[in-house]
Every structure is written in structure tokens, then in C-alpha cells.
Structure 1
């Protein structure tokens, strides 16, 4: 796009024209809520440009918080704005943010400084030399993550760096666990004070049905999504089903023990692909940092023994499902091809039906369902009940 390379100061009308053109070039038409959010982003872009020219030095442009259900085009809109905006900028995904924080802490291990100093230095590095930070897939489920987010917001305010944030949650629904939510309420207040909150709503999850007229990305628009969408959900996982995709259950001799960060993980194979059981991957103490480290080394994952989200089971505990949600997030964002294998039924859409909900299902069930809708299903021709009765 011409603005990013022309070297001139764009105004809001220039930026919005480029975003509209970007959408039309991909066969999309901005919906009303998306258009309103795009206009607000372009006002922010113009303010940043004016500020860079020496005006409004003492005033930080208000940040923007875009939220709404999964698949409504929030990330696409932010990324289009980011591409058009010239100057000093940085885009980061939620998981990458925490990976950088953990790397900074590990790098300082053994030094005579508190972890807080190392975290502050990592946050400073993230905000250094930029006029705007775009933060994708913002969510908070852990009280420790909430502390890091609070530090990021405070530092951004001190450095007068505005943020653009996308999230599936309105600010008041962040850190939804009632045991910890009150601890995050002050940070929610900071978010509301420094950001304009804009909802991108709509009745359609365009990640599932990316038709002309939507403003959401299709798998073909993103190399990462394209790689992720090559995966499959396979039930019940017979040798014939697996063999059709070149998947052959590893021999016991192929078992390996990996230590991606600090936790040991026993996997069934770790050669050209990572093959691991759901229980081993999600039932222990693995963290998002572990999943990110593994994603750097293995471009194809097979997770077998995946329990049904519709059925209560020992494997599918609430913490295990939350870790599984983190796995799916990481693999989708990092462009990893994922094969899920389980006896069945592996239907995350149906699991959202109140009639089928269980007490162990994760907070982000809709998010999992949306991302996994990109994967084709390979199912036995025999009905599930008959397969189960036959012991296949």
C-alpha cells in the first residue's frame, strides 16, 4: 500500500481509503461496526503522525480496545491498519508477549536482581523506539498474567505509547475466574481510562464461512492459517484413517522426553513431527511458554487420545481443557499443522449447546470451536454408538 512507503504524513481519510481498498481487494466489504472501528483507528493513526511532527508532544493519543465474538474480523482490521500506517510501530501476539517476558526473566537467571526488574526491562524493550504497539488476542485467565499486563499498561502510559488491542472479551470480562477477578478490577479501570472501547459484533463467525462481503481473513489469505487448516480432526482414529494422511502410530522405541522450558514432557515421537497424547500435553503442568517453544521445533503435531468435550472424563478436566485452548491458540497463530485424534465425538460446536455443556469445559470454548472449524473432519462411516459398542 502506498502510504506505508510514500514517506508522507497520512491523514485519517487517506488511511480509511487504504483499508477499504485492502478489504475490496480481498473481496470484503466492511460491515458497519468494522467501518466505525476502522474510522477510529485512522483517527489514531493521524494523531500519531501529527505527534511525530512535533505537535501534541505532551498529550498521548487515546488507545483503542477492539472486542467482540470470535471471527468478526478484529485481527484483520488491526493488521490492515498496521500495514497502512507508516513510521515506528510494533505488532505482537498475546503469546509472543509472554514468551518475550519469560525469555527476559530466564536470561537474567542467576543475576543479583529481582524478577520484577527483568520483567520491567522486557516491557521496556517491547515499547522502545515505537510510536504505537498493536497487541493481538488480548486475554487474561491467570492472575500472574494480569500482573504482567498491568505493568505493560503502566509503562505504555509513562512512555506515552498508545496501544491497539484486540480481544474476545470486553474489559469487564477479563480474568473471569471469580476467585481472582477482583484483583484485576483496578487494571480494568486503567484500560477504560486510557482506551476507547469499541465492540465489533455481528451474527456471523467469518472464520467459519469467509464469504464475499465479510471483512474477515480466509485461510488462503494467511500462510499461517493455511498451514493450520491443512490439519484434520480424526475419529475414531483407525489405522486406515491415519494411514491415509501418512500418520503411523509410533513404536515404543520412538518415545522421547523433551524439556521445552522447565517441564519434562514424554512424547510418542519427535522427529519430522511431534506426536503426543492429550493427557501428557494438557494434563500436567505445561505452560504456554512450553507450547511456544515446541512450536518453534515442530511444524506438524499429532495429539491423540483427545477426550470428547461433550463428556465428563478424567482426562478432560477444566485445567486440561484450558491448556488445550492455549495449545490450539499457539498452533493456529504459529501456523502449525495439527491432527487431533480421539474416539469421539469431537464436536466443540455441539458442546456449546447448554444441553451438552459440562462443568469441565474451558472459558474459551467458543474460541476453540471457531479455530478448529478450520480443520476438516475425518469420521468413520459407522455411527459413533456402533463404533463405541464394537470397541474400535
Structure 2
């Protein structure tokens, strides 16, 4: 069986990866889990022989290779495992809980957790973050049930555990979950100096005008480079509402102007998007005026949210920022948005 350090070395030697000391430093943790799972499988471990290994909570800045390492690890396993984005998993859990309640079950979490534990020995979550009060109230009992059933959890996050659900409603009720994570998972900071996602964009044009076939083709090339064709529709929960993102993969989101600004969305939606995505591909921004004033106001709010969260923006638009909104109510206020759009095009913006 090939070990994780050996797999990593093979990818470096083939040129698929560049050796990174911070990434190499976490490989023993992955290998510890992989070896324990493989050994337990041979011994019939889930019949009460040795204790399952501690999982892994790997956190660090965006673009440092966390998801890549997770993919490599999950693919290396010969035991039942599942690799899934954390938000997508929680949506499934909510659906399962709803179905259990429809059957009149008093404890709706237990059967859902039991079903997960029947199917897998390891869960690999990407981008754990808690922004919704409903998720915050469920994860403690859910994870406790999974740990009790011997399921090993490995997850990536942009946040240290103590910052999960920071400033959230009734956060004091969430704190035991943080302690549960620390007890059952090794917390490892992936302190890589290089943002590989930014490197893939570095030097590339990110604002395309006019909107034509060439702009679409160039954006598509960037999109494929960032997502490797693995994007899927994604749902964010915002104040108990569902915000659908048409395409999402590994912190990279894609939508049209109409999808995000042509519908009655607000600041909470854009803040949730900015929290989930580190790169947004936004297509077909039209000329703005009094004729589409409401859409223009939403666009201003969206850009403010992206700017404050340092999200990288790749977009196609009908005109350069200074000429997107040149007449009508709100054109003067749009000057700040135009300035931010200009700044967000600069190479390296969003990398800190």
C-alpha cells in the first residue's frame, strides 16, 4: 500500500505538484489515519477492537492546498469513505432530519447519524464553517453520534476551531461542539506561504469587456483551470432561506449578474456568499441606470461584501467600471463601487 508521503512525492516528481514544506508537514497526520483505518479493517476493528484514530482538523488560508491534500488522502483509502463539501453534507442532514420528524420520531438526529455510520468509516469534509443557527444547534449531537459510532472525521477549514460560528446567535450553546472537535481530532495549522489559487490567476486578466464570445471563452478557460470541471450547484442557508449558487467548487463560485442582482437578494445573502467563496466568477454585468436601479443597488451591496471579505472577482461587463453607471439616480454613489472594481483587478488583490 502506497503511503501518503509516497503519494505526495510521486506527484512532486511527476511535476503535478511543487514541494511545499507546510504541506509535507501534515502528511504524517494523514498517514497516521490511513494506516490505522487499513489496519483496523484487517482486524475487524468495528467489532470493538482498537479505538478509532483521532481525526484531523486542518485549517489555514485559502489556496494553500488543503482540498488538494484531502482529495489525495480520500483517493488513497481502501475503506468506505466519503468526500463531501460540508455545506452539501449539512443540507442532506437537514433533509434526513425533516423526514425523520415526518415519521413522528422524537429524536430525529439519531437515525440520520446511524445511517451515515452504516455507510462510511471516514468522512472527509471540505470547508467546514458554521454560519447558520440551525446548523450550529445540530452539529454537536450529530458529531457526537458519529464519533460514538467510530466514524473518523477529517475536515478542512479557513478558521481555527475557536473561531467557528464566531459572533453567532447563542454562541455559548455552540462552545461544547468546539471542545468535542478538539477531543476527537488533531488540530493542524497548514501555514503554507503560497496561495496556489491566486498563483493560477496571477498575471491573468480578470475584468472582461465588452461581453462577447471572446470574453466568455477566456472566462471559461479561467473557470476550468480553477475548478478542473468538478463544479456542482451549491446551496447556502441564509436566515433559514436557500440561496442557490449555480456552480461551486472548492471555494470558487460562478453566477450571472441576473442570478445575484436581478432577484430580491440582500446584504445577508451577499455576506454568506462572500464567506463561502474566495473567488467569484460573475458574468454579464449590464450597463446600469435608472432603468435597472434596484439591480444596480444590489450590485453595489454585492461588491461591498466581496471587497470587505477580500474575495477575488473575475467578471464580464458591458463597459469598464468607470462607464458602467454614468447617468441617473445613484451614479454619483457608484463612483466608490467603480473604484473598488478597479482595485479588485490588481494582481495579488485578495491574497492577504
Q: Same fold (TM over 0.5)?
A: yes
Q: What is the aligned residue count? A: 289
* Maintained 8 Å contact 1:138/1:167: yes
State the 1:197 CA deviation.
Answer: 0.5
Aligned counterparts of 1:40 and 1:301: Cα–Cα separation in 2? 37
* Maintained 8 Å contact 1:140/1:174: yes
Match of 2:211 among 230, 241, 257: 241
* Maintained 8 Å contact 2:161/2:178: yes
Match of 1:80 among 39, 55, 72: 72
State the 1:104 CA deviation.
Answer: 1.6
Residues 377 and 25 of structure 1, relative CA distance in 2, 3 Å threshold: farther
* Maintained 8 Å contact 1:234/1:341: no
* Maintained 8 Å contact 1:69/1:201: yes
* Maintained 8 Å contact 1:322/1:364: no
Deviations 1:80-116 (A, max 9, x none): 11111222211121122122113223434642224x4
* Maintained 8 Å contact 2:84/2:124: yes
* Maintained 8 Å contact 1:123/1:155: yes
Match of 1:302 among 253, 256, 259: 256
Match of 2:229 in 1: none
Between 30-39 and 320-329, report the one with greater CA deviation: 320-329
Unaligned runs of 5+ in 1: 1-9, 212-217, 219-231, 247-280, 308-313, 352-357
Match of 1:69 in 2: 61
Residues 153 and 102 of structure 1, relative CA distance in 2, 3 Å threshold: closer
* Maintained 8 Å contact 1:93/1:136: yes
Match of 1:221 in 2: none
TM-score (norm: length of structure 2): 0.67
Residues 324 and 54 of structure 1, relative CA distance in 2, 3 Å threshold: same
State the 1:328 CA deviation.
Answer: 5.2
Aligned counterparts of 1:84 and 1:244: Cα–Cα separation in 2? 40
Unaligned runs of 5+ in 2: 217-234, 289-295, 332-352
Deviations 1:111-164 (A, max 9, x none): 2224x42x3322222222322111111111122212222123201221112111
Residues 364 and 202 of structure 1, relative CA distance in 2, 3 Å threshold: farther
* Maintained 8 Å contact 2:256/2:284: yes
What is the root-mean-square deviation in Å for CA atoms of aligned residues? 4.1
